[in-house]
Structures are given as C-alpha cells and as structure tokens.
Amino acid sequence: MTDLFSDALDTPGKSLQEQVEAFRAQCKINEKQKKRSGRRLYARLKRGSKNKLLLRQFLMAFNTYDTDYNYIRYSGDAARHASSFRAAMTMRTRRLKTQGAQSCPEWVLWDKPKGAQFAQMLGLRVAQQYGSHDRGALRFEPGTVIKPVDGSQSQGVYLLFSEDHICDVYKNEVFSGYDALADRIDVDQQDGRVPRDRWIIEELMSNRDDPSGTAVDWKFLTCYGEVIVIALMRRFPKDEQVWFSPEGNKDILGFSLPSHSLDVPEIPAGYLELAKKISLEIPAPFVRVDLLQTDQGPALGEFTARTQFWYRFGRQLDITLGDAFIAAEVRLQQDLLNGKDFSIWKEFTATLSGADENNPTGEKA
C-alpha cells in the first residue's frame, strides 16, 4: 500500500512544521495510514525540546478515540486533548443502561422528588412539595409551580402567581386563566417537550430583590468537591443567562449563547462553598447542583446528571471538564479507599424501593 505521507516525512528539505501540516491534512483523508505514519513523525518530534508546540499540533490531529496509548502515556500535558467531558457523559449514560441506576448516583437524584428528598436529608431547604400527578389530577392554586417530573430547560414549567397572572417560563409569556394553562400543558405533551404525563406541584419561592419576583437560579457544575463552571439563569421576564468560571472568566463556552448574556455577577456569600459540600455527599464524579437564591436563603433547585449544552461545549471547556472529571474520579476513589462511608447517601438509598433502575428518570438533553 502506498504511504500517503512518504513525501512529507522522507523529504529532507521539508521542515517539521511542513511535515506536521501535511500529516494533519492527510489525517482527514485516509484513516488507515494515520497511525502508522503518525508514529514515524511522532518519533521525530520527540527528539527536540523545541518541538513542543508542533507536538501539540500533531497530537490534536487525533481524536479521543484513536489516539495511540503511547502518545497519551508519554506526552504529558501535550495529550490533554484526550480528555473529553462529552466522552465522559456518554460513558456514564452507557453505564446507566448496562449497570442500572445505582451505579450512577447522579441519575437517581435527577428524579426531582428523589433529589428533593436527598436535599432535605442534607438539611437543605427545598420547595414544599404538593405531590406528583398526571394531567387529569392536577389542581391549580396561586403561589405554586407546575413542572414536569421529566423535563429540561424549563420546558413545561409554569409559575402561578394568581389565576390572572401565570408565567410560561419556557416561552417567557404571561397569560391568564386556568383553562389556558391546561391547554398549554396538553400541547407540551403533544409536541414532545414533556416526555411523560407526570407533573409536580410545589411551592413558588420568591425573591423580592429580583425583577421577576421569583428565586434566582444558580447552577454549579461540580466535580466531586470542585466547582468548574457556574451559570446564572433568568427565564423570566426574559431569557437571560451567563456562564463563567469561578475566577470570573465569561468566555468559556466556545459558542454564542442563544439568549441575552448577562454580565458576570457576584455569587451570593456561601453559595459556592455550599455547592462544593453538597457534591462531596454524592458518590459520583460529576453532578450539577442548582441552588435557588430566595428571600429565606439558599434552597435546592434540582440535581442534574448532565447539563444543557454539554454536547456543544467548545474544545477547551470540553477538555477542562474532562480533566476535572478524571481528577474527581481519583478523589472519589481515594475517599472510598480511606473508608468514607457516605452515610447520608446510604440512608437515602435505603428508602428507595420499587424504582426502575434502568430508567430512573426520563432521558434529557
């Protein structure tokens, strides 16, 4: 078989830069030649300390799934691209499907009533729950929230200030009338925005300092004791959000937000540390902890096994979260080896019975 890279690799007149560029271009054309020819160029790049930047460019020509083991083992930070949060999330989902919900604690908590129960056991304030019902058994009352058991991105969420003042959070619309609310719930199911006919009724939490009058939603992407990304979201009266690092870096997502981007806000005192402490009580390398900023202080929003946009994160954030996921797995393993018993988690799981372990919650984006 003709070696497509022979000219680039064996011509003395070509610089290493030219060889790397030729290699990266041909990687997109012929997969079969990639590894064999790549090893030859890799050996040349490893000879000199001045080739670190070229080595990084060379390694970036490989994706997560076909990077040679030795490149990762011996290249140190140059092989950071092998870390991927998308890959980690995909593997966790596969683990859920093959090993059951108890192998993925974060998926157990994604079920909103179970998540609220666990939060209460941690001593965290939660919205008062008025049960879960199918569409026909729903009762509409002022001062409550209607939300689906399985949902994401505020789809199917309604704030009932009064019969004449109802907010469709997903659509950022205000309307009146319980009959109109019932019609919208029906459409949510018919259009597939809500996958299952099961709805939660809970207390409407307030925040008089916010223009909407409702609790502010803080989302902390935690990797077992560390917060990597923070998001502030306001769905009402208009869709506004900002994603940023704990250091205040706003340009981290790698793509433009679909809604108006806010300035980086000041995190309420104690919220960051609280999110870290909560994540340390969950034996999982990643979970998103949503905290509501209310008049009475922090309260649980929900736990999430993934997070919106996870499949769209830019390369740098995907790598950063991938590295954080790996580090969290190591810390978790070390804690277990050192005898940490996760007593609250054990007490919580002992109360669960009759759950469908292979589908503890609806699949969400």
Digit-coded pLDDT (tens) for 145-191: 999 987 777 789 999 999 999 999 888 889 999 999 999 999 998 88
Digit-coded pLDDT (tens) for 273-332: 999 999 999 999 999 999 999 988 999 999 999 898 888 898 889 999 999 999 999 999
Q: Which of 3-7, 98-102, 107-111, 121-125 has the lowest mean pLDDT?
A: 3-7
d(C-alpha 354, C-alpha 338), whole Å = 32
Give residue 33's pLDDT. 56
d(C-alpha 318, C-alpha 322), whole Å = 6
d(C-alpha 144, C-alpha 128), whole Å = 9
| 56/359: higher pLDDT | 56
Q: What is the pLDDT of the chain when averaged over all its residues?
A: 81
Q: How far is CA 283 from CA 15, 32, 105, 108, in A?
A: 50, 41, 7, 11
pLDDT at residue 209 greater than cutoff 70 = yes
d(C-alpha 147, C-alpha 201), whole Å = 7
Full-model pTM: 0.72
Specify which of 220-229, 254-263, 356-365 reaches the highest per-range mean pLDDT: 220-229
Q: What's the average model confidence in pLDDT over 75-101?
A: 82
pLDDT at residue 269 greater than cutoff 50 = yes
Q: Any bridge partners for residue 146, and if so which? A: 158, 201
| 305/12: higher pLDDT | 305
Q: What's the average model confidence in pLDDT over 63-83?
A: 55
Q: Are 276 and 289 in contact (CB under 8 A)?
A: no
Q: What's the average model confidence in pLDDT over 73-99?
A: 79
d(C-alpha 318, C-alpha 72), whole Å = 17
Q: What's the average model confidence in pLDDT over 107-129?
A: 92
d(C-alpha 314, C-alpha 317), whole Å = 6
Q: What's the average model confidence in pLDDT over 233-258?
A: 84
Residue with tokens 């040349």: 44
**Residue 355 pLDDT class (50, 70, 90 cuts):** very low
**Residue 7 pLDDT class (50, 70, 90 cuts):** very low
pLDDT at residue 13 greater than cutoff 80 = no
**Residue 101 pLDDT class (50, 70, 90 cuts):** confident
Digit-coded pLDDT (tens) for 37-64: 566 666 666 666 566 666 666 665 554 4
Q: Which of 62-71, 219-228, 311-320 has the lowest mean pLDDT?
A: 62-71
